[in-house]
């Protein structure tokens, strides 16, 4: 990432020619280099707005000719690819609902084989790193080399402040495995709220993301889809102007020495955490054996709810978010169940 991140912006959905042109003209003199607009909109249930269809591609052609911005659309099948290619679309992204289906991704990869188009793969709906990487690999095997990934968060049944929980560690793991693969954050879909886009965008840059994809509409409250998460072009410019791009490192002796000391403390504490977890699971083994001798079921719902309440309160006292505590203790609880099952 250079001094400025790559910015992809535009409306969630292309609605009218006037709307597309208004946003494109507003973004021409901005850090935005790629204009995005949904032409086909996959919806969970029928009856919602599913996109304007192929006619919108003509509007994007016109916007490209006038502004010089590259044009990006979501494609969900080979027909979409063919139509977008015929209209000179520069960037194709595969959406979260499509990434979950390897057959469809392969169909898209075959349709794009031999092109020099930029292709971005959004993370699948569920937190499955292998499935995300599988989509990239299918495209790479089809000879497509201009690849990147878009982190748009993951669905959850839990009530959180996000529309789709970030699960930053999954994107970080992907980045650590493939550091040359551009990683773009979609704060619009992660948050579902325009008032959180600045915060999540900054978090992404702090984690060394290469770019941002932000939904932008001239009148967000009147948008035909995802109104709550879109910002006006002027608001987008303010967001981008206030972002801080961090240095990848600081090689001065003072920084490196202080960082080394703090990391040593972290390493020592991490070792203690593992030791404590081992001891906790040893007790879970004893509980499992006790329950087995007395023919008692493993899951004790009241006890589990009490643990969650106690640990959430304790976490808040240590300035730890409720979301983090719930994820942590659900993982610990699941491992405890596994240990107790071995005793049955």
Domain-terminating residue out of 209, 241, 273 = 241
Give the three-state DSSP class for 296: coil
pLDDT digits (tens, 9 = 90+) for 193-208: 999 999 999 999 999 9
| CATH number of the domain within which 87 lies | 3.20.20.70
- Whether residues 235 and 283 share a domain: the answer is no
pTM summary value: 0.83
Predicted pLDDT of residue 173: 94
- Whether residues 123 and 236 share a domain: the answer is yes
- The answer as to whether 247 is a domain residue is no
Domain-terminating residue out of 241, 267, 296 = 241
Domain-terminating residue out of 212, 241, 270 = 241
- The answer as to whether 146 is a domain residue is yes
- Cα distance between residue 52 and residue 60, in whole Å: 12
94 DSSP β-pair partners: 121
What are phi and psi for residue 180, nearest 5 degrees?
-90, -5
- Cα distance between residue 215 and residue 190, in whole Å: 12
- The answer as to whether 248 is a domain residue is no
Predicted pLDDT of residue 1: 41
What secondary structure does DSSP assign to 40-79, as a single string?
A: S---SSTTS-----THHHHHHHHHHHHH--EEEEE--SHH
- The answer as to whether 258 is a domain residue is yes
Predicted pLDDT of residue 68: 96
- Whether residues 186 and 164 share a domain: the answer is yes
- Whether residues 145 and 59 share a domain: the answer is yes
- Whether residues 224 and 181 share a domain: the answer is yes
Q: With a cut of 50, which residues of the chain have pLDDT below it? A: 1-2
- Whether residues 161 and 203 share a domain: the answer is yes
pLDDT digits (tens, 9 = 90+) for 60-69: 999 999 999 9
Q: Which segments within the chain are labelled E, that is strand?
A: 6-10, 34-36, 70-74, 91-94, 118-122, 147-151, 183-185, 211-215
- Whether residues 197 and 258 share a domain: the answer is no
- Whether residues 288 and 327 share a domain: the answer is yes
Predicted pLDDT of residue 248: 82
- Whether residues 119 and 258 share a domain: the answer is no
- Whether residues 216 and 330 share a domain: the answer is no
- Whether residues 269 and 194 share a domain: the answer is no
- The answer as to whether 246 is a domain residue is no
| CATH number of the domain within which 262 lies | 1.20.59.10
- Cα distance between residue 291 and residue 298, in whole Å: 7
- The answer as to whether 1 is a domain residue is no
- Whether residues 97 and 210 share a domain: the answer is yes
- The answer as to whether 201 is a domain residue is yes
Range of the domain at 227: 6-241
- The answer as to whether 24 is a domain residue is yes
- Report how many domains make up the chain: 2
């Amino acid at each position: 990432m250079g001094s400025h991140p790559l910015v992809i912006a535009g409306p969630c959905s292309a609605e009218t020619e006037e709307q597309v042109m208004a946003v494109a003209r507003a973004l021409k003199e901005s850090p935005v280099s790629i204009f995005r607009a949904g032409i086909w909109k996959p919806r969970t249930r029928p009856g919602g707005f599913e996109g304007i269809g192929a006619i919108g591609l003509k509007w994007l052609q016109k916007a490209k000719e006038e502004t010089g911005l590259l044009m990006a659309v979501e494609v969900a099948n080979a027909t979409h690819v063919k139509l977008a290619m015929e209209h000179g679309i520069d960037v194709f992204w595969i959406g979260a609902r499509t990434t979950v289906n390897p057959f469809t991704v392969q169909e898209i990869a075959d349709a794009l084989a031999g092109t020099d188009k930029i292709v971005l793969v959004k993370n699948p709906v569920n937190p499955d790193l292998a499935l995300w990487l599988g989509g990239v690999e299918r495209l790479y095997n089809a000879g497509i080399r201009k690849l990147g990934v878009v982190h748009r968060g993951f669905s959850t049944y839990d009530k959180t402040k996000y529309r789709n929980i970030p699960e930053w560690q999954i994107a970080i793991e992907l980045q650590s495995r493939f550091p040359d693969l551009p990683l773009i954050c979609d704060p619009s879909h992660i948050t579902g709220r325009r008032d959180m886009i600045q915060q999540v965008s900054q978090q992404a840059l702090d984690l060394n993301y290469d770019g941002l994809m932000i939904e932008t509409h001239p009148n967000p409250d009147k948008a035909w889809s995802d109104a709550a998460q879109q910002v006006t072009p002027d608001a987008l410019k303010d967001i981008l102007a206030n972002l801080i791009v961090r240095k990848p490192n600081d090689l001065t002796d003072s920084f490196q020495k202080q960082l080394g000391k703090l990391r040593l403390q972290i390493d020592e504490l991490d070792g203690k955490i593992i030791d404590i977890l081992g001891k906790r699971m040893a007790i879970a083994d004893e509980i499992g054996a006790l329950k087995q001798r007395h023919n008692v079921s493993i899951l004790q719902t009241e006890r589990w709810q009490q643990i969650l309440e106690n640990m959430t309160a304790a976490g808040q006292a240590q300035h730890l978010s409720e979301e983090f505590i719930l994820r942590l203790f659900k993982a610990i609880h699941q491992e405890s169940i596994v240990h107790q099952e071995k005793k049955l």
